[in-house]
Structure 1
Amino acid sequence: MSSFLNLTNLIFGFGTFILFASLVSYEFNYDTFNTNYDNIYRVQTKQEDSYPTNFCTYSPSALRYHLLTDLPEVEKVLLMREISGNQGSGQFFTLPDGAQLYEKLGYWSENSIFDIFTIRIKEGNTANALTEPNSIVITEKLEKKLFPEGGAVGKQVVIGKRYPLTVTAVIDDFPANSSLKPSYLISMSTYETMNDSKSFRDNWTAISNDNFILLKKGANSDLVNAKIKDAFKNVKDFEKSTPYLHPLSKMHLSPNSQPDYYIILSMLSLAAVLMLVLSCVNYVNLSLANSTQRACEIGIKKVVGFSKKAIAVQFLGETMLVTFVAMILGIAAAILAFPVLNDILDKNMDFSVFFQGHLLLIVLLASLLAGILSGIYPALILSSYNPVRVLKGKLFSDRAKTFSTKKLLITTQFAISLFMLIVSLIMNNHVQFVLNKNLGFDNKSIVFAEMNVKDKVSFETVKARMAQHPEIVDVSMSSTMPFNGNIGGYVTWEGAMPDQKEMISRNYVNYDFIPTYNLKMAYGRNFSPEYPADNQNCIINETAMKAFGYTDPIGKQLFLYGKAFSIVGVVKDFHAFSVHNPIPNYIMFLNDNMLVGSKMVTARFTPGNGQKAKQIFSSELESVVPNEPFEVKDFNVILYTENAFLLWKAFEKLFLIFAVVSLIVSSIGLFGLMLFTIKRRTKEIGVRKVLGSSVATIYRQLSFEVFALLGGAILVACPAAVFIYKTMPGTYKEPLSITIFIIGIVLIAVIAQLTISYHVLKIAVSNPVKALRYE
């Protein structure tokens, strides 16, 4: 029985450690398949007062020429732009049967992408695949969707129902652990043609592009950073912005130069190590609990001449063998659990990651270390037994019940389990906090579509038709919407100092935007057709009002790009981008000229009519603009697929797994502890029963020792869990409640009580005479 528990305990520990070590290794090995991995950098921008941090992953298109012509350290430069947001028409492909295929992951790109990144070619020639207008490169996966028969090179595809492009090459699908995973690439010259933007490459103020560079071998990235830091010094309103190099090695884990994901992976790594340590501690406890079964063997070996060293080496060797077997079985368990991990994280990992890098060596070293740590203490204890006392049946010492290594191990076991459980509850609370947080607008009754709006008339037609349906409450149009898109800029204000300015997120809306999202006015009024001058007015949020130092903002003027706008209203703060970060300065303008092109059309429906509203919305849009591609979505699709939310959701599930496994392993360890305690105190318990002690009295005495150790564990685990909470990324977190700690402590205490009760029940039905004969 004890051997089975020991092996099971170690299998749990190794299986969990290997599974999550593989995950961490996978995440840290992103992009390493690129031949130029160590020399590829993305040029990002540090912006004063930008949102959500001072670091933006993009840089202006005009910077490309400065990088290429003025820096001898740079070998290649790549200008890219994600096909999304206001370039939404490129997301739809027309299939042979006329249906629309929505493909989100695409880039406008220069041909130098093939020189910088390692991209395998299936068909075609990459020498000039993206040099000419109307050229597109597709992945093998997309080829199977568009051309099931194959042979896509030279054929045409249509995007946005109107733009024919010629397939110039088919490439292999990007690896799963690639930061860039486009399913298609369209030449940058096509972007300029479609958007009639000949001056696009000269723009310094639109920080919305990716500039990648390949440094020459031996080039110093710090020197390049020093040379480009003043690139914005002559750009009005951007004088304090600074471009900098961000290595490809950090692009996945720290895209905006913030350590959030590093922190999360560090937490997972810590949990994996603690799981293995917990298993080792349990092994020690179970080995000591099982020592009575080996007592006679030890005594006889000592009598016949075995040295203490020889006996210690024997027990250590046995432990090493058990640990090695447990590691092999742990690998098998991890392989079986890998599909579950993929489902939780929405990834496509395979177990080959286990054999990449140094992970296999790390696991082997962990196995060796775990074997030594698990075996050294029991080996020393068992080999030190006095043979005379052992053969007389007096295995246990009569020492006073002082603090011992055994008690330290048990306290450690309790502390790790309680820590895992409390952190798991904290993560669950945070996810529920995000799910139920008041965002400041109606996010539960919104459907939307991103589509190309030709003019105001087409939108008004859609709006009038939608108004005929009682399920639809309001319809609006805007350049962006909450959690989808951001247009930034610097603003100054009436009463500001000459050098004062604030970064602000702006949105161009129509009259119906505020009622559609059910935003609340804090001061002033909404835009209205009754005020023809509203094209020169604006509405801000409370955060911006505070930033400008206003207590009475109505009528005050703001200045943006040389134009003055009067404040006519202030909306109450709402989360425009993320529930995890501070609410930024926000401003809305009424401008019909800005509401053409690819815009967001939004409708609010009556409660319980979500599906019907989507059908109505889709039908009416199709009837008014039949030649425009679109997809009607529920707003919460955006909210619940936000990267930060998905990350925390996955993190919560992972720590829940850790908590459950640690509770199982702790239960095994606690069972061993009680087994050891009962055997050590067998004679004492027998005497007490003969003298009339009740089972309840014996239960209290056995419980006292266990709960004293649990008290010590609480003093360690609770502060550690608080530290993890404070380290968690994000500004908005569920306030830490003492209820979480009470639940965790009670659950551990219940498991302890159940284990104690099992052993006490065995004592209750046992014959005390046998206990007195035990020694």
Structure 2
Amino acid sequence: MGEPLLYFPPKQLIEFIMIRSYIQVALRNLWRNRGYASINIFGLALGLTTSIFIFLYVINELSYDRFHAKTDRIYKAWVSGMMPTGEVHDANTAGPMAAALIADYPEVEQVVRIRQHGGFLVGNGDRKFNETEQDFMFTDSTFFDVFSFKLLKGDPKTCLVEPRSIVLTEEYAKKYFGNEDPIGKTLKIEQDTNVSVITGVMQDFPQNSHFHAKMLGSISTLPENRDNLNWVNQNFHTYMVLAEGTDVEAFEASLYAMVVKYVGPIVQQAMGIDLEQFEAAGNSYGYRLMPLADIHLHSGLRFEIEPAGNPLYVYLFLVAAIMVLVIAGINFMNMAIAQSSSRSKEVGLRKVVGSRKLQLISQFLTESVVLSMMALLVAIVLVYLLLPGYNNLIRMNLEFNLFGQSWILPVLLLFAILIGILSGGYPAFVLASFKPSAVLSSNMSSGGRNKGILRNLLIVMQFTTTIVILLGTVVVNRQLTFMQKRDAGFEKENVLVVHRAEALGRQIDALQAEITQHSNVISVAYSTHIPSGGFFGNAHWLEGRGKDEIFTLATYRTSYDFETALDLELVQGRFFSRDMPTDSVGIVVNEATLKVLGIDDPLNTRFFQPSYVGNADEFMPIIGVVKDFHFESMSDEIKPMAIHFMEGNQGGKLVIRLGSGNKPETVGFIQNKWENITAEHPFEYTWLDEEYGKLFDEERKTGQLLSIFSILSIFITCLGLLGLISYATSQRRKEIGVRKIMGASIKVVMTLLSRETTLLLGISTLLSIPAYFGIRAWLQKFAYHLNFHWGFYFLVLLLVTLIVLILAVLTVSIHSYRAASANPVDCLRYE
């Protein structure tokens, strides 16, 4: 006879048989109690599904820019300063900084700059597209040395060296050239008399990158950027790779020498004072470093390439995931505790025939782990089914690849085992501790005082967690509604924004005049920026004050009629007038400018802008003051701003305010007029309310997700209550029968069974009160927020409690009514 396929030494064989026996018994018991097991599995599966979705989002947020080989050594330089208008935290730096870093600091191994240079019309024959500054960026030839983006075609060392060199992503290679090989082919960039050559094709930027260019042009294409030696003209995003072992704090401190060496002379030239005098007046200007991996969540800087994420929401979702898991885990544990009394005789018999306590604990823990594994399997199926909808909701492209991402399956299995052990641990120890003599002689209480207390404590925890999630959801959505409905200070509705106004050239005024003739057009203007669309940050100072009081203002450049196009409210003076030629050098400021700078008589005040090149400083009288309006997110306090007159067509956007008439017909009319002037430039437009609404995308997404989590937490809680009350009524059928024989009505019996739930919910409501402080702290992150006081909080708390109470009582009443309506004779026969 041949050798057996498997050979187990006696001890291992016994252990194998025992484990197999545990699993078989566990499956048999789960099948015997399949109703309660199904409730447990489905409730835990929902909790796991929710948690997996949240963890996918959180992991993605925390993984930004960590895929680069040199991530831990890549830092971004940014400007930190203090001026009379407040702190300056800017993401961009001066052009010459890159060369100076290499020349003056041996710790710097490599430097790369990224320049956003406005939009361009890019064409390949008939294929012409407007590309935004987020899509088309210019960069140094060291781009692929610093970052680890994968170049599929071309030489990473040379592809961005020569002027008019372009690297396309795979997406854009197909967009412009279809299935052809783009290397060596050309694209025509607007306003460039020569063509640009495609020198490389790279993989699309991953989702977890803090910028997502589609086209990279060589910086040497732009002579004004290549040769720019102005140390206070901040247009570049500068990244550097530091040598291994560099003391980052000491290196950052040493960058002040660069300020002294290069910025100091500019201060002297423009302001007539040296750097020490500038700083003695309370001003400051310096360079700081930010680790690459911190940019997405912790930047908070002006002029970042893309809007940063919010770490607060990451932590909020993480807490929500834990809370939902706690709710599901409590269901799991409560059902196990509730069922323990029905299995007491089983435990007694096992002990009589020789089972040890450790064996019993192992048996019950095995059942718990098997159940959690089943829940995990259901959760994995749900994640695969629901992931497309989840991605659509949060506007992301998260992936869940169980086998492609090697860490996912082991982590999930470990997680499920841990949940099974934690949730089943206490019931297992309780069951294993039963004394055979007590349970077999029926001297043991079917309820058990200690078990009842623990079960009630767990239900209170569950209710409290559910109430807190609901409270957070209500407040987040109320805050979002508050921001959306708050008066922004300008007209958002029915305002058409046509992009790439520079395409019209000198004919923009003619188009403006033609469009205005339409009966449904109220006003037409053009501007470099719109609310929500960024701004320039220009240096100014006030006439009559020292030049050491220089400050920066958020700046728009606009045409005539901008105030009527946005329905801005003038509080003093006037806006730019065609009847006042001198208005071309005037400016309009907002109320915040007067408040911050302490200007009492604005219409007799002049601003200056430094020339930096030895010319006379440009003076600008204030001709008007507009009421403060939110040109940035309402999370931020309204900052001082200035509106300058736009001389000629300097690019930007057409801002067209429409009436209440036929919008599609009006847009068609405007498009026709546009195409009569510039047929080769696509007519592309958006609506201002949609553009401004994008500022609230993060809050809107948070509100939607929290709403879903709230519904799930309530559902899981009610599912657990359904299982508990079902089991409790089955255990109390004899008591119910006796009460009915003694004359108790259905209402009395239902009240008896529901009273405990109501009491526990009341305790949970009291325990939820401290959540006020956490919610208030979250609201303080917004410059403008709800008037959140104790009265409002208690009103919301009572509303939330009422919702949970109604759902809980309805859930309990389903089985209570069935138990109360049963024939008392059948109830007495049950035992």
**Common fold, TM-score beyond 0.5?**
yes
Matches within 5 A, 1:83-122: 83=117, 87-89=118-120, 92-100=121-129, 102=131, 104-122=134-152
The separation in 2 between residues aligned to 1:430 and 1:50, in whole angstroms, is: 31
Aligned pair 1:148/2:201, yes or no?
Answer: no
Closer, same or farther in 2 for the Cα pair 1:252/1:402, shift >3 Å? closer
Question: Hey, what does 1:189 align to over in structure 2?
Answer: 220
Q: Does 1:44 align with 2:75?
A: no
Contact 1:26 1:353 in 2 (8 A): no
Question: How much does 1:465 deviate?
Answer: 0.8
Q: CA deviation at 1:40?
A: 1.3
Q: From the superposition, tell whether residues 615 and 740 of structure 1 become closer, same or farther in structure 2 (CA, over 3 Å).
A: farther
Once residues 373 and 421 of structure 1 are traced to their aligned partners in structure 2, the CA distance between those partners, rounded to angstroms, is: 26
The corresponding residue for 2:693 is 640
Question: Which of 714, 721, 733 is the equivalent residue of 1:670?
Answer: 721
Measure how far apart 1:69 and its partner are. Answer: 0.8
- The structure 1 residue matched to 2:649, chosen from 578, 596, 615, is 596
Q: For residues 345 and 579 of structure 1, do their structure 2 counterparts lie closer, same or farther at Cα, with a shift above 3 Å needed?
A: same
CA deviation after TM superposition for structure 1 residue 388, in Å? 4.5
Q: How many residues align?
A: 762
Q: CA deviation at 1:725?
A: 5.0
State whether structure 2 residue 42 is matched by structure 1 residue 13: no
| Residue of structure 2 equivalent to 1:760 | 816
Q: Secondary structure at the match of 1:208?
A: strand
Contact 1:476 1:601 in 2 (8 A): yes
Which residue identity is paired with 2:57? L
Cα distance, 1:214–1:354 mapped onto 2, change above 3 Å: farther
Q: Which residue of 2 aligns with 1:450?
A: 499
1:704-728 per-position Cα deviation (integer Å, ceiling 9, x unaligned): 2212211222223343265145225
Supply the RMSD in Å over aligned alpha carbons.
Answer: 2.9
Q: Report whether the alignment pairs 1:472 with 2:527.
A: no
Q: 1:720 to 1:362 in 2, by over 3 A?
A: farther
Q: Is it true that 1:253 corresponds to 2:297 in the alignment?
A: yes
Tell me, yes or no, if the aligned pair for 1:25 and 1:353 is still in contact at 8 Å.
Answer: no
Pick closer, same or farther for the CA change 1:295–1:762 going to 2, 3 Å: farther
Alpha-carbon displacement from aligned partner over 1:544-599 (angstroms, at most 9, x marks no partner): 1111224543323333324433323211111112222111101112352xx43322
Instruction: Judge conservation of contact 2:296–2:309 (CA < 8 Å) in 1.
Output: no
Residue in structure 2 matched with residue 744 of structure 1 by the alignment: 800
SS of 2:672's partner is: helix
CA gap 1:309/1:457 in 2 versus in 1, 3 angstroms: closer
* 1:296 and 2:317 are equivalent in the alignment: no
Q: Following TM superposition, by how much is the alpha carbon of 1:249 offset from its aligned partner in structure 2, in angstroms?
A: 1.1
SS at match of 1:231: helix
| Partner of residue 504, structure 1 | 553
Are the structure 2 counterparts of residues 93 and 198 from structure 1 closer, same or farther at C-alpha, using a change threshold of 3 Å? closer
Does residue 139 (structure 1) correspond to residue 169 (structure 2)? The answer is yes
1:371 Cα deviation from its structure 2 partner: 1.5
Q: Which moved more, 1:264-273 or 1:421-430?
A: 421-430
Whether contact under 8 Å (2:508, 2:649) holds in the other structure is: no
Q: Distance in 1 between matches of 2:88 and 2:342?
A: 65
Contact 2:539-2:551 within 8 A present in 1 as well: yes
In the alignment, does 2:52 pair up with 1:35?
no
The yes-or-no answer on 1:219 pairing with 2:246 is yes
**Does structure 1 conserve the Cα–Cα contact (< 8 Å) formed by 2:524 and 2:654?**
yes
In the TM superposition, residue 221 of structure 1 has moved relative to its aligned partner by 2.0
Query: Compared with structure 1, are the counterparts of its residues 700 and 659 closer, same or farther at alpha carbon in structure 2 (3 Å cutoff)?
Result: same
Q: Letter of the aligned partner of 1:765 in structure 2?
A: S
CA distance in 1, matches of 2:66, 2:786: 37
Q: Please identify, of 730-739 and 103-112, the stretch whose mean Cα deviation from structure 2 is larger.
A: 730-739
| Residues 732-741 or 144-153, more deviating | 732-741
- The 8 Å contact of residues 42 and 211 in structure 1, kept in 2 or not, is answered as yes
**Paired residues of 2:725 and 2:816 also in contact (CA < 8 A):** no
Is the 1:476–1:512 Cα contact (8 Å) retained in structure 2?
yes
The 1:255/1:613 distance shift into structure 2, 3 A limit, reads farther
Displacement of 1:387 in angstroms is 3.7
Segments of structure 1 that go 5 or more residues without pairing to the other structure are: none
Matched, 1:203 2:233: no
Distance in 2 between the 1:34 and 1:402 partners?
Answer: 53
Residue correspondence of structure 1 range 166-177 to structure 2 within 5 A: 166-177=197-208
On the 8 A contact 1:537/1:567 being kept in 2, the answer is: yes
Cα distance, 1:516 vs. partner?
1.0
Aligned match of 1:396 in 445, 459, 466?
445
Q: 2:662 aligned with 1:577, yes or no? A: no
Q: How does 1:490-529 map to 2 (within 5 A)?
A: 490-493=539-542, 499-529=548-578
Q: In terms of mean alpha carbon deviation, does 323-332 or 359-368 score higher? A: 359-368
Q: Distance in 2 between matches of 1:403 and 1:344?
A: 42
Q: Deviations over 1:31-72 (max 9, x none)?
A: 232221211111112232699974322112121222111110
Aligned to 2:154: 124
Deviation at 1:752, TM superposition (A): 1.0
**1:264-279 equivalence runs, <5 A:** 264-279=313-328
Measured after TM superposition, the shift of residue 607 of structure 1 is: 2.0
> TM (normalized to structure 2)?
0.85
Instruction: Look up the match of 1:315.
Output: 364
- Residues 398-436 of structure 1, C-alpha deviations (whole Å, 9 max, x = no match): 877998211110001111112222222223223333333
What secondary structure does 2:153 align onto?
Answer: strand
| Structure 2 alignment gaps of length 5 or more | 1-34, 272-277, 303-307, 611-616
Q: 1:733 corresponds to which residue?
A: 785
Q: Secondary structure at the match of 2:737?
A: helix
SS in 2 for 1:598: coil
Cα distance per residue 1:8-52 (max 9 Å; x no partner)? 122112222222212222222222322212111111122326999
Distance (whole Å) between structure 2 residues aligned to residue 472 and residue 670 of structure 1: 60
Moved more, 558-567 or 208-217: 558-567
CA contact (8 A) 1:78 1:211 kept: yes
Tell me the amino acid that sits aligned with residue 701 of structure 1: L
- Give the TM-score normalised by the residue count of structure 1: 0.91
Deviations 1:583-625 (A, max 9, x none): 1101112352xx4332222111112443333322222223234
- Change in Cα spacing, 1:398 to 1:584, as seen in structure 2 (3 Å) is closer
Contact 2:498–2:655 (CA under 8 A) maintained in structure 1: yes
What does residue 22 of structure 2 align with?
A: none
Aligned counterpart, 2:114: 80
Secondary structure in 1 aligned to 2:396? coil
Deviates more, 1:718-727 or 1:615-624: 718-727
Deviations 1:81-140 (A, max 9, x none): 124xxx222xx3224335435465121111100111113222222322212222211112
Residues 1:610 and 2:663 aligned together: yes
Q: Please state how far the C-alpha of 1:147 moved relative to its aligned partner.
A: 1.0
Moved more, 208-217 or 618-627: 618-627
Where 2:660 maps in the other structure, the secondary structure is: coil
| CA distance, structure 1, for counterparts of residue 756 and residue 72 of structure 2 | 56
Identity %: 27
Q: 2:335 aligns with which of 286, 292, 303?
A: 286
Could you say which residue in structure 1 is the equivalent of 2:255? 228
Distance 1:679 1:496 in 2: 85
* Cα separation, partners in 2 of 1:591 and 1:635, compared to 1, 3 Å: closer
Q: What is aligned with 1:159?
A: 189
SS at match of 1:347: coil
User: 2:353 corresponds to which letter in structure 1?
Assistant: V
Cα distance in 2 for partners of 1:75, 1:734 equals: 49
**Aligned CA distance change for structure 1 residues 263 and 134 (closer, same or farther; 3 Å):** same
Change (3 A) 1:636 1:357: farther
- Residues 753 and 219 (structure 1 numbering): CA distance in 2 closer, same or farther, change over 3 Å? same
Residue 344 of structure 1 deviates from its aligned partner by 1.4
**Structure 1 Cα separation of the partners of residues 406 and 60 of structure 2:** 10
Alpha carbons 2:532, 2:692 under 8 Å: kept: yes
Whether the aligned pair in 2 keeps the contact of 1:617 and 1:632 (CA below 8 Å) is no
